Structure 1
Amino acid sequence: MGRRKPTFIHMWKKKSVEKFSPFPYIVAFLNCGLWLLYGLPWIQQEEGNLLIMTINGIGLAIDMVYLMLFVLYSKKEKRMKIFFIILSEIVFIGSLAILVITLVHCHKKRSTIVGTICMVANILMYASPLTIMKLVIKTKSGVHALPSSFFSFLCSISWTAYAIVVSTSTFL
């Protein structure tokens, strides 16, 4: 059995998205955009902003490549739906930035508001691979997508463990 190509190479060579779902990439795009906003000095004034912005900027760029492939190689109805969802996410992030920066004058409150929204987006992002599992169960095929779902699940466990360790060490 030959080695499987990464999803984006497979879509690019086939010029088709086939049964791949754009949902995990759409949610990751929103998540990275929100965390990028969180890292801006107008929102968060602590150390580590550059790291937050770099990691999520790279993630945003990677998601843009995937989403561009979905827009290019999807059928017209799906293409328009993806495009409008992405546009809605950009408008949401921009509106949030403008509202928080103009209406909330304390950096701590700004970071709490944006950070809370980021946590909700994180939960959505780490739950989004469940759509892949749903497809696998429904079609009884597509098992090739399960490793990425499994590793996404492991990543979410590691971040949860990290958050528990950091929060308990703060209180001790």
Structure 2
Amino acid sequence: MHIAHFIFGIFGNATALFLFLAPTITFKRIITSKSTEQFSGIPYVMTMLNCLLSAWYGLPFISEDNLLVSTINGAGAAIELLYVLIFLIFAPKKEKAKIFAIFVSVLTVFATVASVSLLALHGNARKNFCGFAATIFSVIMYASPLSIMRMVVKTKSVEFMPFFLSLFVFLCGTSFFVYGLLGKDPFVAVPNGFGCGLGAMQLILYFIYHKKDEQTKPEAANGGVEMGQEKQAVTNGAKVEVV
């Protein structure tokens, strides 16, 4: 049981890392153009909060045998922080002020959770408090593509829902769902079970509607669309370009 728990944790780390690195294409574009264009920085700030809370929950003095939760979410927090800093450098003044205010609020929330858990709570009370906080924001993070799924159904097109991102949402959610079940930890299993279900729904929608996109591609090509043109996609609330 312990070996299986470790294996699913490692696989979850690998798939989650892919998700965290996916927006690098977006930020390459931002750096190149020296503009955030119409991209929103809010998803990156909120994902950073989720990573901070989950990494904190996985520490040994909060919950037992969840170090792999801390490793990937610690790495995720660092990656998201880099995204936020880049966004703050290139965003317009008004947008920069808004994102900075949210960023300060996120750090305040995390500092409050960490301080209360260390100074006022002990044992199961500490674990439950941190677990509930991490679960809430994990569910919010996984739920963010719901608007994109609605768009797919409405337009009958998967143009804005890339297959591999949907696949890795499913794999990441499934891996940590099983990891949480094996570790008998509902604070890991529940939000990732939710992510697993949403990832499965995205894949189902993809296989239902992707043929329509394939049929329309030749028409688009005849209309003068260049090979290799970038398309905007959205994952976890963040825009990502796929070639």
TM class by shorter chain equals 0.7 to 0.9
Deviation for aligned residue 1:16: 1.3
Consecutive unaligned residues in structure 2, runs of 5 or more: 1-23, 154-158, 187-243
| Other structure's SS at 1:9 match | helix
- Between Structure 1 and Structure 2, the one with more helix by share is 1
Equivalent position to 2:56, from 27, 32, 37: 37
Is 1:8 equivalent to 2:24 in the alignment?
Answer: no
TM-score calculated relative to the size of structure 2: 0.55
Equivalent position to 1:47, from 65, 87, 93: 65
Letter in 2 for 1:121: F
Deviates more, 1:126-135 or 1:73-82: 126-135
- Structure-2 separation of matches of 1:31 and 1:73: 24
Deviation for aligned residue 1:153: 4.4
Specify whether residues 112 and 125 from structure 1 end up closer, same or farther in structure 2 by C-alpha distance, changes over 3 A only: same
Deviation for aligned residue 1:48: 3.3
| Other structure's SS at 1:20 match | coil
Question: Counterpart in 1 of 2:109?
Answer: 92
Is 1:23 equivalent to 2:42 in the alignment?
Answer: yes
Greater than 3 Å deviation, 4+ residue runs? 129-137, 143-149, 163-168
Letter in 1 for 2:139: I
- Between Structure 1 and Structure 2, the one with more strand by share is 2
| Other structure's SS at 1:30 match | helix
Equivalent position to 2:136, from 120, 138, 153: 120
CA contact (8 A) 1:36 1:53 kept: yes
| Other structure's SS at 1:6 match | helix
Question: Counterpart in 2 of 1:140?
Answer: none
CA contact (8 A) 1:36 1:57 kept: yes
Consecutive unaligned residues in structure 1, runs of 5 or more: 138-142
- Structure-1 separation of matches of 2:36 and 2:168: 21
CA contact (8 A) 2:54 2:69 kept: yes
Deviation for aligned residue 1:87: 0.9
Letter in 2 for 1:48: N
Report how many residues are paired: 160
CA contact (8 A) 2:47 2:80 kept: yes
Equivalent position to 2:79, from 51, 62, 71: 62
CA contact (8 A) 1:71 1:82 kept: yes
Give the fraction of aligned pairs with identical amino acids, expressed as a percent: 31
Specify whether residues 114 and 132 from structure 1 end up closer, same or farther in structure 2 by C-alpha distance, changes over 3 A only: same
Aligned-residue CA RMSD in angstroms?
Answer: 3.3
Deviation for aligned residue 1:89: 0.8
Question: Counterpart in 1 of 2:239?
Answer: none
| Other structure's SS at 2:39 match | coil
Specify whether residues 97 and 166 from structure 1 end up closer, same or farther in structure 2 by C-alpha distance, changes over 3 A only: same
Question: Counterpart in 2 of 1:102?
Answer: 119
Letter in 2 for 1:26: V
CA contact (8 A) 1:38 1:114 kept: yes
